[in-house]
Amino acid sequence: MNDPKGTSVSQVNGKYFAQAISGNVFIGNQLPAGVAPPLWSSTTQQCGVMNPAGSGKYVVPITVSATYVSGTGIVDGICLGYLPGCGAGVTAGGVTVATLITPVPAKLDGGPAVAKFMSAGITCTAPTRLMNLGICTEVGATTAAVAGTSLKYDFDGVVVVPPGYAIFVAADITGITAVYSFTVIWAEVPVTTANLGW
């Protein structure tokens, strides 16, 4: 949409503004203590978003960001795993246990999310690896080694999580002991109107 001077609204307010102002964008924050990300195929995950079966919404990831908390890392990457067969809530289907944190609406006076933000203690069927996020977990022995480092991935609309699926922020290899606090931001788009675009 353009204003009378020909300036795109998305250029002025950002590319996700239309979804945010419509109340469709949500933020999932892990507790500041963070977690050590497990292997993508582990049946004990630590960070994920589940779109419950029957939600009537597509969950469209926007960004994943990682804040270094503590520990010395190894050279590895953060990736995304996915799991079909989830039920209408935690304990139903592929996810059987999870610590839930209520997502924050990006439009601060917006309504609740349909997706479940799972933060730590997730017991599930083994996920499948979906994609590398281009985030490296290598850190030095001190926090100074990562000062100013941006650990963030912008999906730009390339992943869509249907009802009954979950995604997990995980590691490419085992043995990561460094701890990170993850933030996942996503949009929820009604299945009936998703083909209309952003």
- CA distances 136 to 33, 65, 101, 155, 173, Å, are 19, 11, 26, 16, 12
pTM, rounded to two decimals: 0.87
Domain boundaries, the chain: 9-189
Instruction: Choose the most confident range, by mean pLDDT, from 105-109, 149-153, 174-178.
Output: 105-109
Whether 42 contacts 176, CB under 8 Å: no
Q: What are phi and psi of 83, to 5 degrees?
A: -145, 120
pLDDT tens-digit map of 88-99:
988 778 999 999
Rounded CA gap, 74 and 89, in Å?
35
pLDDT tens-digit map of 113-155:
999 999 989 999 999 999 999 887 665 544 444 444 558 999 9
- CA distances 37 to 19, 106, 120, 129, Å, are 30, 25, 10, 14
